[in-house]
Structure 1
Amino acid sequence: MNPNNDEAGMLESSRLRESNAAVAASIVPQAPDETHEGNGLFPVDSQPPIARPLVLVTRGRVEFLGRCPNCQNMHRHTHLGKVTGPCGAEYELQPKAKLKGAA
């Protein structure tokens, strides 16, 4: 083994570590801008997402199936309106509006 080769390898690896440290030091997390609260690129919407239900008629009652916007599974509910799925997501079961003039 030649000691000169080991020194060159050690020097190269130390340069890589120094350059990575310089990049990491320049990345600083930014605090959220509180002056534009709710009016930024992603405005905060107070309305829950809407799921379109399918009607399921069982022996004893009518239930509504809705695809959860959070986990994408189908959840069964006994009423329309604001519901909470078993995964904890809150959304609104809302049927499509009927067309005007349709019988």
Structure 2
Amino acid sequence: MATDGPILTASRTGTRRDALVALRDRLASALDETRSGRDLAALARRYVDTLADLAEIDGETPSPDTPLAQLRRERTARGAMVNDERSISDLTTRARYAARRRL
């Protein structure tokens, strides 16, 4: 019979934090071992999510000067710009449609 791994053991006997720590360690190991770009991207996303969950449990607040925080700010800004461009495009389309209806 196979023995339980660290994630299963932590899930059965520990707290949520213990399970997340075990998952974090397993994901880190898998990230080091993988050679597939597709797998690397998926593992990295789960790893970052797990780190965020652990930080939330520990009551940590991310520093505004971390590379991750900077990336989030840039993405948020780009998203706002895209939404503004869509709004302008949408308004332009509506104005053209309204102008045609008046003719």
Shorter-chain TM-score: what band? under 0.3
TM norm structure 2: 0.26
Structure number, greater radius of gyration: 1
